[in-house]
Chains A and B, each alone.
Chain A
């Protein structure tokens, strides 16, 4: 149950660093709906291929995208499994918070009986 504890602080920092950049958020968005190659991605930005490659590497280290080789191309895809897991858990936490807020409302406004 506590297997991943030791990496949580650093992975949090990595995640926020990765998402703090507009180009990287854009790369992530593009790699959710399709699986672009690094050179296809590079065509969208006014920066060198190497710079785009570095952005992809930051996203990869944060666990947000995966890269796989296809011939001489590097294809980039968002880690959908991770995003799906995150999304399902956030749904769960939403229900926890909705319940808490309903209970807080009862504390703030005691019902007459």
Chain B
């Protein structure tokens, strides 16, 4: 079980996740740097991700779509705000057609070597509760099959 801790702060609207992997830091970084590997873990099995673009440098964008169970596609994009191989990167995240600087979510990732392999610390930060709810419909469609608890979340 590679997830070491999850910290949620509903006041600051952040989610911090720490995960440890038994592989070297460079190997962990490569999984994020290589779109073919990235698409194997970004989307859920029911809605796999296809990355059409992955310009992994500051100011560059990644563009992807999830293929939903009905065949419909949901497009998303990241805009990289920091990239420091093999230690860290940060990106704003939103729908593919969102204007720059208008993305409802930001993510930062730090990677470090540990005695047993490598550690990833990811922080997801939402601009508002409304932004969280906005990003949910795209995820909802893709995750519904895999996530029976979703209806409960959306109802609450």
Chain A residues proximal to chain B, CB less than 8 Å: 1-9, 11-12, 15-16, 19, 28, 63-64, 82-109
Contact = CB atoms under 8 A, between A and B. Distances in A.
Contacts of B125: 12
A65 B17 CA distance: 27
Nearest to B139: A96
Given A5-B134, A89-B132, A107-B31, A101 B2 contact: yes
Contacts, number: 135
Interface of A is mostly: helix
Interface of B: 2-3, 6, 8-13, 15, 17, 19, 21-23, 27-28, 31, 37, 40-42, 44-45, 95, 98, 101-102, 104, 120, 122, 124-134, 136-137, 139, 143, 146-147, 149-150, 153, 156
B129 A105 contact: no
Nearest to B147: A95
A100 B127 contact: no
A59 to B, nearest CB: 10
B41 A103 contact: yes
Contacts of A94: 6, 8, 15, 17
3 cross-chain pairs, A with B, having the tightest CB-CB distances, nearest first: A103-B41, A4-B130, A12-B127
Contacts of B15: 90, 93-94, 97
B61 to A, nearest CB: 18
Given A97-B122, A104-B41, A107-B37, A8 B104 contact: yes
Given A106-B41, A107-B41, A7 B128 contact: yes
Given A8-B104, A15-B12, A96 B143 contact: yes
Is chain B's binding surface mostly helix, strand, loop or mixed? mixed
Given A83-B10, A95-B147, A101 B3 contact: yes
Contact of A97 (B17, B27, B95, B146): B17
B10 A11 contact: no
A25 to B, nearest CB: 8
A66 to B, nearest CB: 14
Given A8-B131, A107-B40, 4 more contacts: A9-B102, A87-B8, A100-B41, A108-B27
A19 to B, nearest CB: 6
Contacts of B3: 97-98, 101-102
